[in-house]
Structure 1
Amino acid sequence: MPSIPSAEEIFREALKLNPDFDVNSLHYKTFEVMVRYRTEYYKRRVDEILSELNLPIEIHRKVKKRLLEPIVVRDKKYSNFMEEVSRRVSQAFQPISGHLAELCAERELDRAGLVKDIHFTMRKERTDLIVYHPEIYSYKSRHRIEVKNVSLRERAVRGLAFDGDSLFGFFNQLREFTESNIRVLERRCARTGGYCYIPPNTLSQISQTTFRFRSNTRFGQDMATFVKTGAIP
């Protein structure tokens, strides 16, 4: 296995731990596995570098411990000194993290009985997922889904405006769901007939009245209904 495993490898490893994980538990476990690989990578690299210096074992241990402690630089927190100086590694894990969210969404469609490249496609036409009614080769309508990881950010809201009809994600930062963001998402989803699928825990904490927000655990069920009827109830 390469030093930094692919998103598919991390996804399979997490799923193997419990094939019956719900979508949010699975996503959380993929994150844990990814962080574990990242931590192991840094430990291995520090050992390799320090071993070249032929340091006494105790000095080696102390330096290693120091290098792997979390640090804050200009209000930005890094898991350790190595991550701060090695942005290449940090950046390598960013696309993996995003792809893991897409794999979790794809698995929900699989569980709902939908088949890739028949009922849905991945990463086509500037969007993450496209679901077709009744199937891709004879479709009468289609539904585009923007898949995001744990942070809503402006680009998620903007992406829904241009490249998606629904938004699916693992957003765990309640403060991002401001009254303004909720109003924008409600309006855009209402216009496209879509929904904003978020973790049930986050959904339960939103105090505003919403009509286009749903638990991401029903995403697969809704998309299966769309494939059959061309609409999401």
Structure 2
Amino acid sequence: MRTVPPAESMLKEALKNNPDLDVNSLHHETFLLMIHYRSQYYERRVNEILSELNLSKEIHDKVKRKLLEPIVVGDKEYSNFMEEVSRRVSQAFQPISGHLAELCAQRELERAGLKRDYHFTRRKERTDFIIYYPNLHSPKARHRVEVKNVSLRERATRGLAFDGDSLFGFFDQLSEFTESNVKVLESLCVKTNGYCYIPSDTSRNIPYTTTRFRPNTLFGRDMAEFAKTGRIP
């Protein structure tokens, strides 16, 4: 039994409700869907287990509420007892979450008129996206893009340094954009002629001078311009 729908299905579901979502709203909606399906899975499993015990409805409901209430173990909070006991489901969301971020980025490229396996490729040569000028079949230049989800951490700077020319993400933790991190990202992007595409709310609140940070809503436009001219405006 599948724990949650695949990332592609959740993306389609979010767009079905509102096909005009911007990239940050889309990412938020897919995250809410992921949490929704996780909660449904846990509730379904609890009901299946308790139904085998011939409990009265009152006892059934009390045990169910207890099993599904959030708990804290050490300094980590879990959505419920089952998640803490069995981390399999929780860990399954990590690759799904990353996949959703990549699908959101791909939608931005396609909305800008770019076609997969013609203007860009995905998950080739150790990077998430490669955009080609003028196209994959007669490339004169290319631009590599690393996609990260909501946490910068060391992985983002390491990925940008070795596997990408630009960074695209949904970073919502302003505290991660320390002066040293900002300097590293600025320096790397200058060397690769790339940019860090992040949510506008995060970008506008960075308390340091930046020249290589742009709203991630401009990502599709910039990559389309690269595919057309070989440069990012």
Write the mapping of 1:18-33 to structure 2, written as runs, cut at 5 A. 18-33=18-33
Q: How far apart, in 1, do the equivalents of 2:182 and 2:81 lie?
A: 38
CA distance in 2, matches of 1:173, 1:70: 23
Q: Secondary structure at the match of 2:114?
A: coil
Distance 1:83 1:3 in 2: 13
Cα distance between partner residues in 1 of 2:214 and 2:194: 10
Question: 2:131 maps to what in 1?
Answer: 131
CA distance in 1, matches of 2:110, 2:159: 24
Matches within 5 A, 1:61-76: 61-76=61-76
Alignment correspondent of 2:90: 90
Q: Which residues of structure 2 form unaligned runs of 5+?
A: none
- 1:108 is matched with 108
Other structure's SS at 1:117 match: coil
Identity of aligned residues (%): 72
2:3–2:89 contact (8 Å) kept in structure 1: no
Q: Which residue of 2 aligns with 1:182?
A: 182
Partner letter of residue 210 of structure 2? T
- Indicate the SS of the match to 1:82: helix
How far does the alpha carbon of each residue in 1:26-74 deviate from its partner, in whole angstroms, 9 at most, with x for none? 0000000111000000000011111111111111111111111111112
> For residues 171 and 203 of structure 2, what CA distance do their matches in structure 1 show?
9
Aligned counterparts of 2:126 and 2:59: Cα–Cα separation in 1? 51
Residue 113 of structure 1 aligns to a residue whose secondary structure is coil
Deviation at 1:2, TM superposition (A): 4.0
Under a length normalisation based on structure 1, what TM-score does the superposition of the two structures give?
0.98
Deviation at 1:218, TM superposition (A): 0.3
TM-superposition CA deviations, 1:92-138 (whole Å, max 9, x none):
11111100000000000001000000000111111111100000011
SS at match of 1:121: strand
Between the two proteins, the alignment pairs up a number of residues equal to 233
Moved segments of 4+, more than 3 Å: none
Give the alignment's TM-score, normalised by structure 2: 0.98
C-alpha separation between the residues in 2 aligned to 1:164 and 1:136? 17
Once residues 120 and 85 of structure 2 are traced to their aligned partners in structure 1, the CA distance between those partners, rounded to angstroms, is 41
- Structure 1: distance between partners of 2:197 and 2:125: 21
Q: CA deviation at 1:150?
A: 0.7
Equivalent residues of 2:68, 2:82 under 8 A apart: yes
Supply the AA of the counterpart residue of 1:66: K
